Amino acid sequence: MIVRSCCLVVLLPFTLPALNVKIEKIYGYLYTPKRPLPKADRLALVKSFYGGANQFDPDIQLLCAAGIYVFSPSPRGVADRSAAFEKLNDRDMGGYEVVDVMYGGKYISELLGIPPSRIGVFGHSHGGYEVMRELTFPGKVGQVAFQFDGGFGISVAGFSSVEGQSEKSNIREWITKEAGSERNQWKDRSPINHADKLRGRLLLIHGTNDKRVPFAESKALDDKLVELGKRDQVQLLALQGGGHVPISTDELIAQYQAWFSFLNSQDEGS
């Protein structure tokens, strides 16, 4: 158990359902704010790729300072546990790792007594993709059916198309490692191809000069959702001239203002 500035941090193991997919249990850090929101207003956010690391995270500290619970699980594919664990999601991006994160949301909802509609997920880059994937998850991967309908997601610099990321990114070899080379799988694992299934609300944040994950990846999903009549479920913040990681003071202020405006709106039913 670790005490830090804005929260109490506890490492929790939790058992996955009987999925027969190489692992039965994963771990996560639960960050409990020192001054949580009133019970009826409580929110929890699950950190998507990469989570489960024992390190200071300013985003998590900021959320905790606002009274929000944060759960940071270590889905298959993270490097902190072992080299073998990191390889478990090779060529399976958007597969069982998504189930791990979604099950983390279900677990924390039940543990804290917070309804699924007030459980969200957030992530950057690969994590941003995972956010998009979770909110548009078609309900099954391989032979495993699983669904957790969280209420919202925040994707920063995520990609909505595996093929688009492979073609336009400056890290194409990473896609081959993580997603393999099977184009039909790429198509199935691309959130934009399941945009009609979007559940809850989605905030997209992306720098317009991002070379690692092109801005077009978030813009394409936003456009698709608007085309599908889901304008009220999606927001896009374009950080003009921004790169892959928000760095400047102006970018960080814009990002966090968007975060908290979006989170506050959960209470407004918009």
Q: What pLDDT, on a 0 to 100 scale, did the predictor assign at position 184?
A: 93
Element (DSSP H or E) covering residue 216: helix 216-227
Q: Side-chain half-sphere of 61: how many Cα atoms within 13 Å?
A: 8
| pLDDT tens digits along 219-250 | 999 999 999 999 999 999 999 999 999 999 99
pTM of the model: 0.91
User: Which domain does 20 fall in, by range?
Assistant: 2-267
Determine the Cα angle at 246 with ends 81 and 158, to 5°. Answer: 60
Length of the chain measured in residues: 270
Domain of 171, CATH number, reads 3.40.50.1820
Q: What is the pLDDT of residue 19?
A: 56
Q: What local confidence, expressed as pLDDT, does residue 18 receive?
A: 56
> Mean pLDDT score of the chain, rounded to an integer?
89
pLDDT tens-digit series, residues 64-85: 999 999 999 988 888 777 788 8
Strand 152-156 with 140-141, pairing:
unpaired
68 closest CA partner among 47, 95, 90: 47
Task: Give the C-alpha separation, 186 to 180, whole Å.
Answer: 8
pLDDT at 17: 65
Please enumerate in sequence order all residues whose Cβ is within 8 A of that of 153, keeping only pairs 6 or more positions apart, or say none. 120, 121, 122, 131, 132, 134, 135, 200, 201, 202, 203
Dist CA 34 CA 15 (whole Å): 27
**Are the C-beta atoms of residues 244 and 206 closer than 8 Å to each other?**
no
Q: Count how many domains the chain has.
A: 1
pLDDT means over runs of 10, the chain (270 residues): 60 68 79 93 93 84 95 86 82 90 93 96 96 95 85 97 88 86 93 97 97 96 98 97 95 97 77
